[in-house]
Amino acid sequence: MIEKIREYVLSTLGTLVTAVGVVVFLIPNNIAAGGVSGLSMILHHLLPLPVGIWMYILNGLLFLVAFLTVGFDFSAKTIYCTFVFNFFVDLFDRLIPLPKYTGDDLFLAVSFGTLLTALGLAITFSQNSSTGGTDIIARILNKYFWISMGMGLLMVDFTIAALAGVTFNARTGMYALLGVILNGIMVDFMLRGIEQSSEVTIISERSEEIKDFVLYKLHRGATYVPAKGAYTGKERKILLVVVRRRELNELIRFIRKVDPKAFVVIKEVRQALGEGFKELEEL
């Protein structure tokens, strides 16, 4: 239950950060860098309803289309994040307006807007959530045209950026396209940092104490691997542990304290799946 609450809190934080990036930097400069928010900016220019209202309309229609075409297989968190993101965009754009960047330097707007939206999306994605939107179109393309989800999303976002060029001007459209590319790169980079774990191999005379620290203080699993020293011929047990990056320093400090002569090998792990990490069925 606590873990579920934590996921919703972090997902909400992610949508909040994304909304700030969209409202402060992207909307004021018409940088429609993909997604439902980008399409809503274009529609707002053509028919001046607030961007947040257009997002409610588009997401509602997309979920209805998804229900009729691919079945309603979206998680509760995805539905929650989609409409919470809409709410934050509408709140900060219209009801409690945030200061907006309206300078002439569109590169600054794209850079900081993309940085914030990518950070927010990475936090949301790390909790196995999504802000919906164009993901739904990608699912439909995947089902009926056998286009991969990643390629489908890219096609949809590039199309929205191109429409921004037609609706506003070529310069704005090119910056929108740059925003799509930067967003994809940054989200992937930040997700790697958030989800990155470390595999730690420990050879120590005090392995029992280290094992207890891992199990009962870090609340992580540990595995003993039987081994034999090549030089000494001595039988020993190697301790194998996988920890989050934030837990690694704590583990190293403890090892240094109990056995400064321990031999430790640390390897970066792109992603760990299973108990204590992201569950396989969540993928």
Tens-level pLDDT at each residue, the chain (283 residues):
777 888 899 999 999 999 999 999 999 999 998 889 999 999 999 998 999 999 999 999 988 888 887 666 667 888 899 999 999 999 999 999 999 998 888 999 999 999 999 999 888 887 777 787 777 787 778 778 887 766 888 889 999 999 999 999 999 999 999 999 998 888 888 877 776 788 999 999 899 999 999 998 888 889 999 988 888 888 888 999 998 877 888 899 899 999 999 999 999 887 776 766 666 555 5
Three-state SS string over 214-261 comes to HHHCCCCCEEEEEEECCCCCCEEEEEEEEEEHHHHHHHHHHHHHHCCC
User: What are the residue boundaries of the structural domains of the chain, listed by start?
Assistant: 2-194, 196-282
Q: Does domain 196-282 have CATH number 3.30.70.120?
A: yes
